[in-house]
Structure 1
Amino acid sequence: MPVSLVTTLALMSLTTAQGDTSNTADALRIEIEAMRAAYDVSGLAVSIVDGDAVVLSEGFGAYDSGLVSERTQCGLFSATKALTAFTLADLAEDGAIDLDAPLGSVLPDSPEDWRDIPLWRLYNHTSGIAMIVNQEAFGAIAEDPEGDNAAIYEVVRTQPLDFEPGAHSRYQQSGYAIAEMIAEARLGQTWPALVAHHLTGPAGAADTVYGPLSDGSKTVPMIASAGGYLTTAADMAALFQALNAERIMDRTALTDRLSDPRYIQDGYGLGLIINEVNGEVTLGHRGGGARANLRYAPNSGVGVMACTDQVGNRELTIHVADMVMNALLTGEAPRPHIASLLYASDDATAGTLVRLFEAEWSDSDTRYGFGGAEAVINAMGYDRLADSPDEARMLFELNARTYPDSANVWDSLADAQLALGEDAAALESMRRALDLQPGNPYFQGRVAEHAPD
């Protein structure tokens, strides 16, 4: 890596001593650029805000369209839901939307088994309403220039619930289409117009727009609350500042609304993934296969957004946002993800990667963060499974040693063992996975398939 831990710590200590965000920006900029190179991502835009100060708002490298600047637009994809959450909180605070209203009262022709579902369940994926985007009918609606949320509603209203409301949280978009249709009908404005009025307008974020409308590819907004927004690093910095300055709504009310445990199930709230960093709640969403990630800590006023146009980005935006949040909320030096060390290694053999990982894992003074490392190692293993199953097995075994309570790592190890003809060992790994998740039908099926008669 091009910067030492001593250098980084020095930069951070200067920040503490001088109260100057420029040193924090320097430390973060160095680490972000090093991570971008290690992850082999060509272009990245990042905005970071701490209170009323913009710590960093700039581009790194280039997209396919050219050099990235703080004014270069990038897609938010499903991270759009964070914009929806902020807008929704303000609408609810104004009394324009009643999140507790049952669907029967706001959608009079709704099916009988929908009528008692509160509106908020449409936003946290617990309504049980049937999935739409994996149905053939959705493709026809999406391609129709006049296709809209009402057309989606007409499809799903005839279908049974996928599950009892509140029994599960299953990520899907049907609820957003219906909630958006309800809001637009009751308030007399399109969802993009509501976002502009309640969020991006007060923030002065004029380049944050619903993409299909901006490029003319579709004249009717559809599920604009769930995805499709474009933004820039400069706009997101302005948005975080507006939230902190309470130009959107009272920040305590925003925090209370969006972190209300009534609305949270399986770590997901009103269009937001809820995490905790250093004892503080952080709100946000990712999207586009990790092409975008947005995180906001409302109590401290720390916000970060990272986006790229690169599909194969190895979750760089996730790891950058985690690094920034941890650094600013703990006051410690920025700690890049352990994946940075592994991806940057000149020797990419499994044995070398295992040794690098375990050396840092066992070092109490390691400069790396390990959040989500299980998924990184798992992905590295599957990258090698077809051509080098023995290498894949080494990486899956590392995961099993490091995360022995994860059913998924044992299931992955079984795949490598099967590829190597180690059927008995594979069955034992499958049984370990099933022991950890005894009710999982997938693991039950695998054990039944491979167990001897």
Structure 2
Amino acid sequence: MYRTLAAALLCALFATPSASARDVPPDLASQLNSQLQANRERYGIAGQAVLVAHNGQVLYQGASGERDPATHAPATVDTIFAAQSMAKLLTSTLVMQLVDQGKVDLDAPASRYVPALPSTWHAIHVRDFLNHSSGIGEYYDRVDNRWVSKGYTGVAPDLAAALKVAGSAPMQFATGSRVQYTQANYLVLTALLETHYGKPYPAIARERILQPLRMTSTSWGAASVPAQRAAVPYIGKDGQLQPANEDPWPHYGWGHADLQTTVGDMNRFLQALATGKLVRTATLEALWQPQTLTGGGSNFFSTGWDTTRSDGYTQVGHDGGTRVRARLAYKGTLASGYWVFVYLTNGSARNAWSSTLVESTMAVAAPGEFPHAALSERLTGYALTGDSSSESSLRAWLSENSGIASNELERAINATGYAIRNNLGNRPALKVFALNTALYPTSANAWDSLAECHAALGEKETADRLYAKSKGLAKTSP
């Protein structure tokens, strides 16, 4: 079951003179319907809803599968999914608004705005809490499949107690030296917002984001969702779907988790950001730059947004575990054009990476704009169904039409091999790693990845031989 927008939207888009618009296939709705079905079959997705937009125009909305497999209730584009940690995008945006207004300095200690923070955190900057580079500990542990704060039978009863629990834990690393994704970081930001506005976090988010954007299907906590619209969360175990049976997060944790939303609402949110309705676009573009870590390298979180740079695009967004992801992609500046991709599911038998799901839609919507996504999708198809004839055509495409520079192609194929290994298993991935060694026979890294895959399959003799080959090539490489 699929619902798509009128063809008039596509016609309007084609009037746009950008390369991105010209790259959109004329039968996009049919192609994306097929892609959703392929993803369901590949990964065992229970139910899903997808939205693709370009420069403010929705090109596609579709849904398939079941929002509740137990009752066979179908998923629709109006189904409300548990988006979990995508809640952090709202919190980050609320903080960025204060930065944009000159009321918060990201490079000032968070204790300037939240004096009651644990004393050991008083020198940690706001930016480090946003970017998960603070080094602080967590406010709970997983005990008997439940979240339990130290000293309590469950999670801490309120925000102050939760911060105290996290503050009593030893620092995990020197602030700013590396990244460790920690929910407690966003408790600090929740406290900052509540201190500044003098009201509870949900009220702040509703007043400043949800109500102005008419995000009427977005809330927190499964109990807030009408049963007839709720997608029941599932999880994969031994290749089979089973109910997730997740504990609800405490109300004070809604700044980091338990978001419930639809593809349409997430599109409204990302469109508002891209057009400067929530934060000035110049501010966003500055804040979506990578943080340089003192331990070397860059942080892949930029003001809390999961950020990658690929194919000339800055791609920002967030996931909600393996089930959901929202992504905004722009080249250079937001004014030069942008894409929105929202992919929501209620779980898959294989716990497929949400980034893989989003990239499968990018590959269909604009393969020329996102060649790395197109490569991933082609290699996944080859891994599952490819034979000698399909390998021949794949090789020809890789050498002539992939759109990826030859000096990047080996690494891109290798990365896709690992994604396939995680999402579909070792045997399909083996074909991709073997193809890479055939294309790059002098690459020590390609042979090492192939050896690792054989080892994971329990084929020790073959793995040892290939590891030896890899080591030999590494010694002779300049």
Task: Using structure 2 for the length normalisation, give the TM-score.
Answer: 0.71
The one of 131, 136, 157 equivalent to 1:129 is 136
Matched, 1:47 2:51: yes
* Correspondence for 1:4: none
Residue of structure 2 equivalent to 1:409:
449
Report if the CA contact (8 A) 1:377-1:399 is conserved. Answer: no
User: Following the alignment from structure 1 to structure 2, what is the Cα–Cα distance between the partners of residues 225 and 154?
Assistant: 17
Q: Quick check: 2:183–2:256 contact (8 Å CA) kept in 1?
A: yes
Report the Cα offset of residue 48 of structure 1. Answer: 2.5
Q: Tell me the amino acid that sits aligned with residue 274 of structure 1.
A: T
Distance of 2:14 and 2:274 partners within structure 1: 21
Rate the CA distance shift 1:219–1:32 in 2: closer, same or farther, 3 A.
closer
Structure 1 residue 315 displacement after superposition: 4.3
1:140 lines up with 2:148 in the alignment:
yes
- Consecutive unaligned residues of structure 2, counting only runs of 5 or more, are 1-8, 227-246
CA distance in 2, matches of 1:128, 1:158: 13
Q: Size of the alignment, in residue pairs?
A: 420
Report if the CA contact (8 A) 2:290-2:298 is conserved.
no
Distance 2:142 2:263 in 1: 35
Task: Report the counterpart of residue 92 of structure 1 in structure 2.
Answer: 99
**In structure 1, the residue corresponding to 2:36 is in which secondary structure?**
helix
User: What is the DSSP-based 3-state SS (H/G/I as helix, E as strand, rest coil) of the residue aligned with 1:76?
Assistant: strand
After superposition, give the CA deviation of every residue in 1:413-441 in whole Å (9 maximum; x if it has no partner).
Answer: 46248633457436637968999xxxxxx
User: Quick one: percent identity of the two aligned structures?
Assistant: 19
Secondary structure (helix, strand or coil) at the match of 1:47 reads strand
Equivalence for 1:307: 344
Q: Which residue of 1 aligns with 2:317?
A: 284
2:468 pairs with 1:428: yes
The SS at the match of 2:317 is strand
Paired amino acid for 2:212: P
Q: Does 1:252 align with 2:290?
A: no
Q: CA–CA distance in 1 between the matches of 2:274 and 2:33?
A: 27
Aligned to 1:266: 299
CA-to-partner distance for each residue in 1:185-207, whole Å, 9 max, x for gaps? 34222222222222222211111
* Secondary structure of the corresponding residue to residue 199 of structure 1: helix
Preserved contact between residue 329 and residue 338 of structure 2 (Cα < 8 Å): yes
Q: Distance in 1 between matches of 2:394 and 2:317?
A: 31
Range moving further from structure 2, 412-421 or 200-209: 412-421
1:208 and 2:244 equivalent?
A: no
* 222-231 or 101-110, which deviates more: 101-110
Alignment correspondent of 1:243: 273
Flag the 1:419–1:392 CA change in 2: closer, same or farther, 3 A: farther
CA shift at 1:32, angstroms? 2.0
Q: Deviations over 1:215-261 (max 9, x none)?
A: 59869413322222111122123223333443323222222233365
User: 3-state SS of the aligned residue for 2:211?
Assistant: helix
User: What residue number does 1:231 align with?
Assistant: 261
Shift in alpha-carbon separation, 1:337–1:310, aligned structure 2, 3 A: farther
| Partners of 1:134 and 1:407 in 2: CA distance | 39
Change (3 A) 1:144 1:113: closer
Q: 1:145 to 1:275 in 2, by over 3 A?
A: closer
Question: Mapping of 1:151-190 within 5 angstroms?
Answer: 151-190=161-200
User: Quick one: distance in 2 between partners of 1:113 and 1:176?
Assistant: 17
Letter in 2 for 1:175: N
**What is the RMSD of the two structures over their aligned residues, measured on CA atoms?**
4.5
Which letter maps to 2:452? S
Deviations 1:57-111 (A, max 9, x none): 3324443263332211112222332333323211322344442231443444545
> More helix per residue: 1 or 2?
1
The one-character-per-residue Cα deviations of 1:130-174 (angstroms, maximum 9, x if unpaired) are 234545498234984873333322222112211111111122222
Who is 1:34 aligned against? Answer: 34
User: For the structure 1 residues 134 and 309, does the alpha-carbon distance in structure 2 shift closer, same or farther, using more than 3 Å as the test?
Assistant: same
Deviations 1:337-380 (A, max 9, x none): 455556657x9588769937953663423599989654553365
Q: Evaluate the alpha carbon distance shift between residue 139 and residue 321 of structure 1 in structure 2; reply closer, same or farther with a 3 A threshold.
A: closer
